[in-house]
Amino acid sequence: MVAVSILDLVRVPEGGDVKLALDRARDLAGHAERLGYTRFWVAEHHNMPGIASAATSVALAHIGSGTRTIRIGAGGIMLPNHAPYIIAEQFGTLASLYPGRVDLGLGRAPGTDQIASRAMRRDPMASHQFPQDVQELQAFLAPAQPNQRIRAVPGMGTEVPLWILGSSTFGAQLAAELGLPYAFASHFAPDALLPALDLYRLGFKPSAQLQAPYAAIGVNIIAAETDAAARRLATTQQMSFADLLRNARGLSKPPIDDIESYWAPAERAQAQRMLARSIVGSPATVREGIARLVAETRADELMIVCDVYDHDARKRSLELIADAAGEGEREAA
């Protein structure tokens, strides 16, 4: 049976602030836990006023304090922004606070623009060292070796599970070579989804962490009582994508009745390409969409992005999605 999880962007809404966004993320994780979702991830983004998860490990500590059993993690940490040793300490601390339920997804993109990259003192060539950095991080999280002079404390021996994230075939090949689980960002970059999954499965080499390939796929899903109501909720995300294309990043906006009045035709075309794998609609529509997606991709897990402005409407959407996912998986089987 396919697992269902959540990738939360920790959106700062218009009329709200960062504390509200972080408190809502913690509340949403507790809600997801009660609904039976497998994991709750947040991602590293910088210089984006509408996203409050830049200090990802700190945000996860807050989220973990409001949950008991659901897995929490990064989807992901942009490793070239950091020394692997520091990330080992941060996630070793999280693993010590919340043993047995911390994940560490790793990406090689900057998660920001060039200005913020320079502010982080990011080496422009750092992404070329990504495979070596992943292995170095893995070593710092492993049990200490005899005479090992530098150790991540906390960190060593926690063996926090690593994931490779990607929106192209590079990450798929690396995850396969290292024998790690793989998560593809089809919620904003759907074009290479199927080729990446094929490469990952064909090239997978078993490892100490994972004996068989395991693939999660990001997917935007918004559910409401009717198709029309869900489409209206989805305009919040559509406006966010239009703003991103305009380089006008701002706070999360309430839904509108007519998205065509907001974006230009070129913005509409590009946003729709990026959102092509989205599933938006009533419980029946969502159930059918999930069944088709799972049958097509053979995904082991769906990493759901549910970008809804109103907190209560978002919680209700996740309830409907959880029900639909169970029914959709039975249909796919």
Which CATH number fits the domain that encloses residue 81? 3.20.20.30
Confidence band of 331 (pLDDT split at 50, 70, 90): low
Supply 117's token pair: 């990259």
Same domain, 93 and 231: no
Confidence band of 259 (pLDDT split at 50, 70, 90): very high
pLDDT score of 125 = 77
Mean pLDDT (whole number) for 67-93: 96
Question: Is 149 within a domain?
Answer: yes
pLDDT score of 123 = 76
Question: Is 331 within a domain?
Answer: yes
Same domain, 117 and 45: yes
pLDDT score of 224 = 98
* Among the ranges given (147-151, 153-157, 199-203, 251-255), the one the predictor scored with the smallest mean pLDDT: 147-151
Local structure of 41: helix, strand or coil:
strand
Question: Is 211 within a domain?
Answer: no
Mean pLDDT (whole number) for 239-248: 94
Q: Biggest alpha carbon distance in the chain?
A: 65
Domain of 83, in residue numbers: 1-160
Supply 30's token pair: 């507790």
Whether residue 12 has pLDDT greater than 90: yes
Which pTM does this prediction carry? 0.95
Question: Is 203 within a domain?
Answer: no
Whether residue 330 has pLDDT greater than 60: no
Question: Is 201 within a domain?
Answer: no
pLDDT score of 111 = 64
Whether residue 153 has pLDDT greater than 70: yes
Mean pLDDT (whole number) for 37-63: 96
Same domain, 148 and 231: no
Same domain, 143 and 2: yes
CA distances in angstroms from 293 to 278, 324, 333, listed in the order given: 10, 13, 12
Whether residue 120 has pLDDT greater than 90: no
Angle at which helices 227-245 and 311-332 pack, to 10 degrees? 110
Question: Residue 274 contacts by C-beta under 8 Å, 6 or more apart in sequence?
Answer: 188, 189, 190, 241
Same domain, 152 and 267: no
Question: Is 237 within a domain?
Answer: yes
Number of separate domains in the chain: 2
Same domain, 40 and 149: yes
Whether residue 253 has pLDDT greater than 80: yes
- Location of structure tokens 């008991």: 68
